[in-house]
Amino acid sequence: MKHKLNLLLFYLIILLTPLNIYANTNELLDQMISSYGGAKTLEKLNRPYKQIWQLNAVSRHAQGNDTRHIELPEKLEVELTYPNNSETRILVGDQGLKIYDKTRKEEAKGPALDAMRLQRMRLYSPLMLKNKIANIKLSEKNNYYCLTLTEGDLIAEYFVNKQTHMIDIVIGTLQMGEMKMQFKTEYHDYKMEDGVMLPHREIKYAGNVNTAVLTLQETSFNTASKE
């Protein structure tokens, strides 16, 4: 009788457990690494590289360029250039700096600094995420695999397409006093760049507001580190 009860309990657990073909985070990340081009190729994203994006700043009705110098996991420099002004954001470790019109400098603090840190987290490749696996939890949300990474008081959720194993969406959450603010980026139009699958279109939101649409113009790998 006890054996039958144990067997019945076992089948109930199987029936009530959501179907997930990936038993753990490591298995999913390995599949993602393969889909993005393989571990050896993804090493290119762990070295300095540069991207130039065409920027449509929807919320401010302006056109410009977004130039990124990326050296993960520590450094990120983003220069936003518009016809009449510019803003440069430099993040090294947990220290942030903003430069307006290439002259006026301001230390980034509080939510402004956290937003820069979240932007760096959004750029983590599957290979980088595997290095941070101890701080990642795997779940399923809205028909996606969801990898939730916690770094200090920041949270980034990577929504992984179940068919392509590419990251379709990243939602970053930061605390602003008693309120939470979410920044969402959608990734589209994946294409191969020197052996690496990269999105060529980004759609950004702050809360529910569409702030920008970006189109990739150029990617340069193994660029010199910017000081």
Alpha-carbon dihedral 48, 51, 57, 63, rounded to 10 degrees: 140
CA distance 126 to 196: 12
Mean pLDDT, residues 92-117 taken together: 95
CB 217 within 8 A of CB 53: yes
What confidence score (pLDDT) does residue 175 get? 80
pLDDT (tens digit per residue) in 166-212 = 999 999 998 877 788 899 999 999 999 999 999 999 999 999 999 99
Lowest-pLDDT range of 30-34, 89-93, 138-142, 144-148: 138-142
Spans of all domains in the chain: 23-221
What confidence score (pLDDT) does residue 146 get? 97
CA distance 95 to 67: 20
Q: Where are the beta strands (DSSP E) in the chain?
A: 49-57, 62-71, 75-81, 86-92, 95-100, 104-108, 136-141, 144-151, 154-160, 167-176, 179-193, 196-206, 209-221
> In the structure, what pLDDT confidence band is assigned to residue 67 with cuts at 50, 70 and 90?
very high
Q: Average pLDDT of the chain?
A: 90
Mean pLDDT, residues 201-227 taken together: 89
pLDDT (tens digit per residue) in 130-142 = 999 999 999 999 8
What confidence score (pLDDT) does residue 216 get? 98
CB 117 within 8 A of CB 103: no
pLDDT exceeds 60 at position 24:
yes
What confidence score (pLDDT) does residue 11 get? 46
Residue of 97, 94, 68, 95 whose CA lies nearest to 80: 68
What confidence score (pLDDT) does residue 12 get? 46
What confidence score (pLDDT) does residue 176 get? 75
Class of domain 23-221: mainly beta
Mean pLDDT, residues 50-58 taken together: 97
**How much of the chain exceeds pLDDT 70, in percent?**
88
What confidence score (pLDDT) does residue 125 get? 97
